[in-house]
Amino acid sequence: MSGAIEGSSGLGGAGGPSEPSEPHDVCVVGLGYVGLPTAAVLATHGLAVAGVDLRADVLQTINAGQVHIVEPELDALVRAAVAAGSLRALPEPPHARTFLICVPTPFREGHQPDLRHVEAATRALVPVLRPGNLVVLESTVPPTTTRSLVAGVLAEAGLVAGRDVYVAHAPERVLPGAVIREVVENARVVGGVTEACTEVAARFYEGFVKGEVHRCRAETAELVKLSENAYRDVNVAFANELANVCDRLGLDPWEVIGLANQHPRVEILRPGPGVGGHCIAVDPWFIVATAPEDTPLIQAARGVNDDRPRKVVARVKELAERFKRPRVACLGLSYKPNIDDVRESPAVAVVRALQAELSAELLVVEPHLRACPIEGLELCEAEDALRRADIVVVLVMHRQFQRLPKELFTRPSVIDTVGLLT
């Protein structure tokens, strides 16, 4: 294919209705926490959407009008879109005008980015791409990935970005639990491989996004997304480091941080048992991988946060010395409050370490799960655990825990890693 693009307007990136010969306006590749809500939202904006995933069970569930992930309002949107025929799930990409890649980007050994899914998803587009189509990478990636990997793979197939097709990065910055609202309301940062690519991609997002659409280079968009999560990680690490210092000095970190925050130019975040989830604990490594010698602060922050569960465990062990076989209540397993997600959760790391290293009866409480994800342990009711415990470790600030009677915390020794009792 060559010389196919005649201008930068009104082409594949436009959000308007498809040509009669083009059955789909948009194809979303990867139907997980990001891709499925995006596909459902686009389908309710009058676009014909195809969703693609490798997992047959995911395709079957969606085509039955159901969902395989927990996200408020998503089930109703998918049901309506599938019933209306505006969303269907397929094993391979069909022809479409715009392609959004929303596949996972984990890290592998040595915290090196694993971009295999992005490469595979891009290669799968080659047979169906047509002149003027738009390809947007929404997955979180290290700087230069959109240009070198996505545009690079397409160029190998003779599809030059800005000449034959448009290629851009538009990182997703949604908050789990509010994805349907945020996909539409959040501002977007859209960076193309060329200026024309930026423009076409930005116009596509302006078709359904209410927040501002900021135009920039692909590399800028990539680093913006990573900077947001690394910023958060570094600031949490500062709070966690202060908490470590307070523990050593026998001071109350909540009092110290609370008083320091009285200063008009200080805003220290809340410490905790560590940093979890699949974004903040992962994305900073993508900056490190790009510039290892320039990122001592980001690397140190990762180290501080990853070491927090060990510090919490050490404090529990210290308290446990007074008992022959203490009962230890562990409040919370998820990586943040009020959700059921335990991916990379520091609370799980603490409980696992206690199970392996301490002779104790562990009373694990997680109101958002039906079964304990840690082998050999069962879940308990919060009040029952608090009544029986010698030691209590508060690991997550769930709403349910905030409502517990404070008297239940007066008898046992308490390690409050999240400031529940302050």
* Closest residue to ligand NAD using C-beta atoms: 32
CB of 113 to ligand NAD, least distance (A): 10
DSSP track, 19-36: PTT-S-SEEEE--STTHH
Q: Of the two residues 50 and 320, which places its CB atom closer to ligand NAD in the complex?
A: 50
Q: Is residue 225 annotated as a catalytic residue, yes or no?
A: yes
CB of 359 to ligand NAD, least distance (A): 38
Q: Of the two residues 57 and 375, which places its CB atom closer to ligand NAD in the complex?
A: 57
Residues that bind ligand NAD (CB under 6 A): 29-35, 52-55, 58, 102-105, 117, 120-121, 139-140, 172-174, 176, 279
CB of 38 to ligand NAD, least distance (A): 9
Assign residue 395 a region (left: φ > 0; alpha: ψ between -120 and 50; beta: otherwise): alpha
Q: How distant, in Å, are the alpha carbons of 4, 30, 204 from that of 194?
A: 16, 25, 16
Compute the distance between CA of residue 255 and CA of residue 238 in angstroms, rounded to an integer: 16
**Residue tagged 């959040």 (tokens):** 186
Q: Of the two residues 70 and 246, which places its CB atom closer to ligand NAD in the complex?
A: 70
- In the numeric block, which tokens belong to residue 348? 């799980």
- In the numeric block, which tokens belong to residue 377? 């342990």
Per-residue HEC secondary structure of 269-328 comes to: CCCCCCCCCCCCCCHHHHHHHHCHHHCHHHHHHHHHHHHHHHHHHHHHHHHHCCCCCCEE
Q: Of the two residues 32 and 65, which places its CB atom closer to ligand NAD in the complex?
A: 32
Candidates 279, 330, 372, 380; catalytic one: 279
User: Which residues are CB-contacts of 262 (< 8 A; sequence separation ≥ 6)?
Assistant: none
Q: Of the two residues 59 and 313, which places its CB atom closer to ligand NAD in the complex?
A: 59
Compute the distance between CA of residue 268 and CA of residue 12 in angstroms, rounded to an integer: 46
CB of 276 to ligand NAD, least distance (A): 13
CB of 15 to ligand NAD, least distance (A): 21
Dihedral, 124, 217, 229, 366 alpha carbons, nearest 10? -30
Q: Of the two residues 331 and 396, which places its CB atom closer to ligand NAD in the complex?
A: 396
Dihedral, 352, 274, 310, 347 alpha carbons, nearest 10? -20
Residues in the chain: 422
**Residue tagged 């078709």 (tokens):** 207
CB of 72 to ligand NAD, least distance (A): 13
Q: Of the two residues 25 and 71, which places its CB atom closer to ligand NAD in the complex?
A: 71
Residue among 13, 25, 179 at smallest CA distance from 88: 25
Q: Of the two residues 55 and 310, which places its CB atom closer to ligand NAD in the complex?
A: 55
Compute the distance between CA of residue 298 and CA of residue 285 in angstroms, rounded to an integer: 8
Q: How distant, in Å, are the alpha carbons of 7, 29, 132, 158, 338 from that of 3?
A: 11, 26, 10, 11, 52
CB of 125 to ligand NAD, least distance (A): 10
Backbone φ, ψ for residue 108 (5° rounding): -110, -165
Compute the distance between CA of residue 237 and CA of residue 257 in angstroms, rounded to an integer: 13
CB of 358 to ligand NAD, least distance (A): 33
Candidates 27, 197, 216, 225; catalytic one: 225
Measured between its terminal Cα atoms, the distance across the chain in Å is 64
Residues with catalytic annotation?
225, 279
